[in-house]
């Protein structure tokens, strides 16, 4: 892109330099062209096209499979030699940079392409962290930032497991990587989408190093899907990546209440809502691994219940 920009910059300067040699009408045309070129090339650099797309910062035991994935979500190549990736420790409440990664040798990243950094040198990433293990802090409330090397302005920011002031877009994501099961990370879903709100943009999902974030929270390589569903319209799923029980009923209108019971009949939690066509709710089951639960939904149409086993 630099070469292309230089060529266009040269064309722009040439047009201006030779203005005295052309008629005013031609000059006006040239001026229009020059400024259109200028606007297209320089005035609106699409820095926001590069995003932090996925982070796997925590694994069972020693964190030896950490990675960071960047994505070019724009329509033109992005020069990665212009940026630096900062790792930011937020444990004190103030961001303290504990790692910085950049290189003049980082390539142009094609539109839609991914650039990955790993701790494990054998993981096939595009660049390496300085440490093979524990190169990305586990939170709560740490951050990663992409800045421009030229002026340290932010290209993208992610504050995770809470909001670290100065390093969050909107609210820091509450999505938290899993240190009890492999193959989970936090990532943008839908892939690459940046609404400038970390908490809206990131979910816990199956890791997808260097590839599209599928948003799959169930079918990770090490996951056993525990799903018991039968009745049409009422579904209950568990999301092992986030320990959530997902419940949905459709069609449903008006008052809807979800109740979750333990197998001995004790009510664990209730949630009421007003539905317009469909109702869904997610409940964090926390540490109830392996437990059998009863999920009941009550609507004006009646009551249904399902069993679900937490993984
Ligand atoms: Ca870590
Ligand atoms: Ca992980
Ligand atoms: Ca990915």
Grade residue 23 by pLDDT with cuts at 50, 70 and 90. Answer: very low
Integer Cα distance of 134 and 129 in angstroms = 10
Q: How much of the chain, in percent, has pLDDT values that exceed 90?
A: 55
Q: What confidence score (pLDDT) does residue 235 get?
A: 83
Report the C-alpha gap between 123 and 142 in whole angstroms. 24
Please give the pLDDT value at position 233.
79
- Find the distance separating the first CA and the last CA of the chain, reported in whole Å: 49
Q: Which residues pair with 159 in a beta bridge?
A: 143
Q: How far is the CA of 211 from the centre of ligand 3 (A)?
A: 5
Average pLDDT over residues 234-254: 82
Write the pLDDT tens digit of every residue in 125-158. 999 999 999 999 999 999 999 999 999 999 999 9
* pLDDT recorded at residue 305: 84
- Tens digit of each residue's pLDDT (9 = 90 or more) over 51-107: 999 999 999 999 999 999 999 999 999 999 999 999 999 999 999 999 999 999 999
3-state secondary structure the chain: CHHHHHHHHHHHHHHHHHHHHCCHHHHHHHHHHHHHHHHHHHHCCCHHHEEEEEEECCCCCCCCCCEEEEEECCCCCEEHHHEEEEEEECCCCCCEEEEEECCCCCCEECCCCEEEEECCCCCCCCEECCCCCCCCCCCCCEEEEEEECCCCCEEEEEEECCCCCCCCCCCCECCCCCCCCCCEEEEECCCCCCCCCHHHHEEEEECCCCCCCCCCCCCCCCCCCCCCCCCCCEEEEEECCCCEEEEEEEEEEEEEEEEEEECCCCEEEEEEEEEEEEEEEEEECCCCCCCEEEEEEEECCEEEEEEEECC
Q: Which ligand is nearest to the CA of 176?
A: 2
Q: Given this model, what pLDDT does residue 219 score?
A: 60
Tell me the C-alpha distance between 154 and 52, whole Å. Answer: 12
Residue 187 alpha carbon to ligand 1 centre in Å = 15
Going from the Cα of 207 to the center of ligand 3, the distance in angstroms, rounded, reads: 7
Q: Tell me the two tokens of residue 183.
A: 């193959």
Looking at domain 47-206, its CATH superfamily turns out to be: Lamin Tail domain (2.60.40.1260)
Cβ(244)–Cβ(251) under 8 Å? no
Could you state, in order of their start, the residue ranges of all structural domains in the chain?
Answer: 2-43, 47-206, 234-309
CATH code for 234-309? Answer: 2.60.40.3080
Is residue 161 within 8 Å of residue 142, measured between CB atoms? Answer: yes
Give the span between the Cα atoms of 243 and 234, in whole angstroms.
20
Let me know if the fold of 47-206 is the same as that of 234-309. yes
Q: Is the pTM of this model over 0.75?
A: no
Q: Which of 194, 149, 190, 147 is nearest to 167 (CA)?
A: 147
Can you read off the two tokens belonging to residue 36? Answer: 């259109």
Ligand 3 centroid distance, CA of 210 (Å): 5
Instruction: Return the CA Rg of the chain.
Output: 25
Closest-lying ligand to the alpha carbon of 138?
1
pLDDT at residue 40 above 80?
A: no
Question: For 250, how many CA atoms within 13 A lie in the half-sphere containing its CB?
Answer: 10
Higher pLDDT, 74 or 2: 74
pLDDT one-digit tens code per residue, 165-215: 999 999 999 999 988 888 899 999 999 999 999 999 999 888 999 999 987
Q: Ligand 1 center to residue 92 CA distance, Å?
A: 17
Residues, CB-to-ion distance under 5 Å, ligand 2? 56, 58, 177, 184
Question: Which-ligand-closest: CA of 181?
Answer: 2
pLDDT for residue 262:
87
Position 186 scores a pLDDT of 96
Q: How far is the CA of 57 from the centre of ligand 1 (A)?
A: 4
Which ligand has the minimum distance to the alpha carbon of residue 142? 1
pLDDT band at 222; cut points 50, 70, 90 = very low
Could you tell me the distance, in angstroms and rounded to a whole number, from the CA of residue 297 to the centre of ligand 2?
A: 33
């Amino acid at each position: 892109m630099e070469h292309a920009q230089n060529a266009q910059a040269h064309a722009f300067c040439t047009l201006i330099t030779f203005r005295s040699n052309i008629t005013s009408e031609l000059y006006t045309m040239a001026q229009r062209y020059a400024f259109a070129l200028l606007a297209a090339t320089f005035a609106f650099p699409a820095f926001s096209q590069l995003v932090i797309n996925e982070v796997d910062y925590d694994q069972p035991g020693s964190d030896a499979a950490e990675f960071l994935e960047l994505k070019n979500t724009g329509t033109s190549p992005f020069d990665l030699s212009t940026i630096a990736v900062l790792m930011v420790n937020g444990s004190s409440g103030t961001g303290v940079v504990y790692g910085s990664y950049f290189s003049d040798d980082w390539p142009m990243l094609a539109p839609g392409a991914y650039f990955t950094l790993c701790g494990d040198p054998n993981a096939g990433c595009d660049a390496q962290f300085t440490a093979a293990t524990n190169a990305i802090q586990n939170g709560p409330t740490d951050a990663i930032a992409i800045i421009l090397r030229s002026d340290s302005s932010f290209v993208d920011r992610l504050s995770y497991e809470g909001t670290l002031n100065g390093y969050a877009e909107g609210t820091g994501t509450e999505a938290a990587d899993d240190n009890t099961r492999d193959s989970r990370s936090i990532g943008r879903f839908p892939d690459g989408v940046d609404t400038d709100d970390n908490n809206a943009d990131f979910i816990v999902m199956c890791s997808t190093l260097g590839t599209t974030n599928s948003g799959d929270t169930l079918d990770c390589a090490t996951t056993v899907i525990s799903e018991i569903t039968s009745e049409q319209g009422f579904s209950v799923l568990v999301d092992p990546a986030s320990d959530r029980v997902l419940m949905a009923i459709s069609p449903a209108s008006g008052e809807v209440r979800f109740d979750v019971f333990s197998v001995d009949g004790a009510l664990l939690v209730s949630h009421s809502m007003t539905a317009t066509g469909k109702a869904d709710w997610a409940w964090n089951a926390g540490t109830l691994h392996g437990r059998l639960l009863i999920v009941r939904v009550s609507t004006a149409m009646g009551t249904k219940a399902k069993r679900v086993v937490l993984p």
